[in-house]
Chains A and B, each alone.
Chain A
């Protein structure tokens, strides 16, 4: 096996930022808003770097798709321990319509090109919450997938994945090469400290366009409208149990 792991990292609006919808309801405000690496992508990077530190794999390659700023996200991955980066440049309208289908085509092409042994992704992005890219990538490559991974270990030439599912944990053993998607409890991502960021400046980031990989990134989806969630209605306080019962029966609930 090549010993090379591809990790996809996405630049999203920072989790702590209050999201605002644009007045024309076309999308969310992103200009001047703090962005950072998707938290589940951080967990994915951490897992790959841990594998390298345990000498289970040889090289970690961080991939991000988007405009110039996507390089910042790759730099964070490099500071966390990735060896090199690949920036697939997508800008403007094409970037606005970039989604799991397009990303998975790009990841699949790169996985083949780089002869990756594993592709590790976050389980979903906190901006679109699709939870599709990992699964689509595995399907395009016809590779096994270990999604919602809360534990990953090598067993000979196979990989054992403990998955978080409704009602508990499921353990599977899959062949490599494979696609893994990281869930919250997989690991604790390290912070990209200043010394590590400085060291990472020497690491290389390759630049390419989707066309260089022979990938068509036209979207088949059109966003019609973006709205804020409905405002929470104020609650009503009652003084006695009788009041509570009468209010409930008024509402037709008892």
Chain B
């Protein structure tokens, strides 16, 4: 079976999300378990377009995580250092 060229992209996405997930408020292990489950669920997908859609969804999640981390930090700093 030929190696799907999208495989590298999927692996890259997985590693990125794993790295991002370390700071997850509910814990890195919580995130990692759910990340594994989410990727495992789709492991049988062959259609390239479907794979690309799933990759986009993963990239969206990554952006959401970055936004979450930023907002948490911003709000904490604002609360501690600025009187409203």
Pick the contact of B66: A40, A191, A195 (CB < 8 A). A191
Mark the stretch among B2-10, B13-21, B31-39, B47-55 that contacts chain A. B13-21
B1 at interface, CB cutoff 8 A: no
B30 at interface, CB cutoff 8 A: no
Complex contact A15–B73 (CB within 8 A): yes
Pick the contact of B70: A189, A194, A197 (CB < 8 A). A189
In this complex, the interface size class of chain A, counting residues with CB under 8 Å from chain B, is 10 to 19
Closest chain B residue to A184, Cβ basis? B77
CB within 8 Å: A-B pair count? 33
Closest chain B residue to A15, Cβ basis? B76
A188 at interface, CB cutoff 8 A: yes
A16 at interface, CB cutoff 8 A: yes
- Cα distance A65–B80 when bound, in Å? 25
Complex contact B77–A193 (CB within 8 A): no
Q: Mark A190-215, 1 if CB is under 8 A from B, else 0.
A: 01011101000000000000000000
Question: In the assembled complex, which residues on chain B have CB atoms less than 8 Å from the CB atom of A191?
Answer: 20, 66, 69-70
Contacts of A148-171 to chain B: CB distance below 8 A: none
- Cα distance A16–B16 when bound, in Å? 22
Question: In the assembled complex, which residues on chain A have CB atoms less than 8 Å from the CB atom of B66?
Answer: 191, 193
Complex contact A16–B72 (CB within 8 A): yes
Q: A184-B78, A184-B82, A191-B66 are in contact. Are A39 and B73 (CB under 8 A)?
A: yes
Pick the contact of A188: B15, B70, B77, B78 (CB < 8 A). B70
- Cα distance A16–B22 when bound, in Å? 14
In this complex, the interface size class of chain B, counting residues with CB under 8 Å from chain A, is 10 to 19
- Cα distance A172–B80 when bound, in Å? 27
- Cα distance A126–B79 when bound, in Å? 13
Question: In the assembled complex, which residues on chain B have CB atoms less than 8 Å from the CB atom of A15?
Answer: 73, 76-77
Complex contact A194–B16 (CB within 8 A): yes
Q: Mark A10-23, 1 if CB is under 8 A from B, else 0.
A: 00000110000000
Closest chain A residue to B78, Cβ basis? A184
Pick the contact of A184: B12, B15, B81 (CB < 8 A). B81
B60 at interface, CB cutoff 8 A: no
Complex contact B70–A184 (CB within 8 A): no
- Cα distance A195–B12 when bound, in Å? 9
CB distance from A136 to the nearest CB of B (A): 20
Complex contact B19–A193 (CB within 8 A): yes
Q: A184-B81, A184-B82, A188-B70 are in contact. Are A193 and B16 (CB under 8 A)?
A: yes
Pick the contact of B77: A39, A195, A197 (CB < 8 A). A39
Complex contact A193–B20 (CB within 8 A): yes
